Structure 1
């Protein structure tokens, strides 16, 4: 089996969440590493894992980023990583998969399924093959213990519960 390493410089781990019930805050994590062990063009028998450095969160607002790193949210001093380990991969169409695995945020592990698309394979000018994927899912932040959320005077809450996670991954052979 071939091992492919996630190329952090060509990978984006993004998220979006409702803010004040009316708009969205988008952000990303810049610290990511992981592997795909198996044939990236036929993922059904592959093993996939990734690790995100929670302290690398970036939302274009330093105060918010620092708050997200605090005990109110990710508590990065105690729980520095967000992890995912695949447990099942089902082909749903040509180049499309349901990638299910155990995601751990803080000290909570839940099954999560990413709708995943194989975007292709190509060769860099240096002769190195690369593969790319896109994957998307939605999770409840409350299910992962991320419950900080002040009520708004006008009704509703400051931060939505549903988080959309979108990955754009490029990997190179190990």
Structure 2
């Protein structure tokens, strides 16, 4: 198959994260609004062009006060940095449907190279005859590498917000016609 354009179905896709809270539990969240450009052969992602633009203000942790704090200057500073971007720079096959995707990730105007594990979940025709493909990805980043350093020290030791952020991506894409 040749490389073709794919449109991400945001109703069946998600960009989620989790971070340690109080050194004992995890707080989870998602970004609801994002756009993407994908040109790929789902059978061989090594030549794919993949880009995402995420609306940072769409962050949702199921707590309005926390979401507003994340949008503030203490964290994402959405007034100055409304978008987060991801652009794949290298894709390496590591197994039959497994890949390592290295990208330039930009958060708060700071760009770093990150690597995510991605699995091609397969392709099918939907009930309307459209070709769809699924992809799952996961990785982790260090939030302080992006200037996200807000924290508070706990009386018993440790900090309120962990530095490691785990990222999980589920994508359903439809072949563009």
User: Taking structure 1 as the reference length, what is the TM-score of the superposition?
Assistant: 0.98
Q: 1:169: which partner in 2? A: 171
Q: 2:91: which partner in 1? A: 89
SS of corresponding position for 1:46: strand
Unaligned runs of 5+ in 2: none
Partner Cα distance (1:88, 1:102) in 2: 10
Q: 2:61: which partner in 1? A: 59
1:5 CA drift (Å): 1.5
Partner Cα distance (1:38, 1:65) in 2: 34
Q: 2:19: which partner in 1? A: 17
Partner Cα distance (1:97, 1:126) in 2: 30
Matches within 5 A, 1:22-41: 22-41=24-43
User: Taking structure 2 as the reference length, what is the TM-score of the superposition?
Assistant: 0.96
Partner Cα distance (2:144, 2:87) in 1: 21
1:38 CA drift (Å): 2.1
Unaligned runs of 5+ in 1: none
Is the CA contact 1:5–1:33 (under 8 Å) kept in the aligned structure 2? no
Q: Deviation digits for residues 34-84 of structure 1, max 9, x if unmatched?
A: 022121221011111111110010101000000000010001111111110
The list of structure 1 runs, each at least 4 consecutive aligned residues, that deviate by more than 4 angstroms after superposition, is none
1:32 CA drift (Å): 1.5
Q: 1:150: which partner in 2? A: 152
Q: 1:78: which partner in 2? A: 80
Partner Cα distance (1:146, 1:41) in 2: 37
SS of corresponding position for 1:55: helix
Q: 2:9: which partner in 1? A: 7
SS of corresponding position for 2:138: strand
* CA RMSD, Structure 1 to Structure 2 (Å): 0.8
SS of corresponding position for 1:13: strand
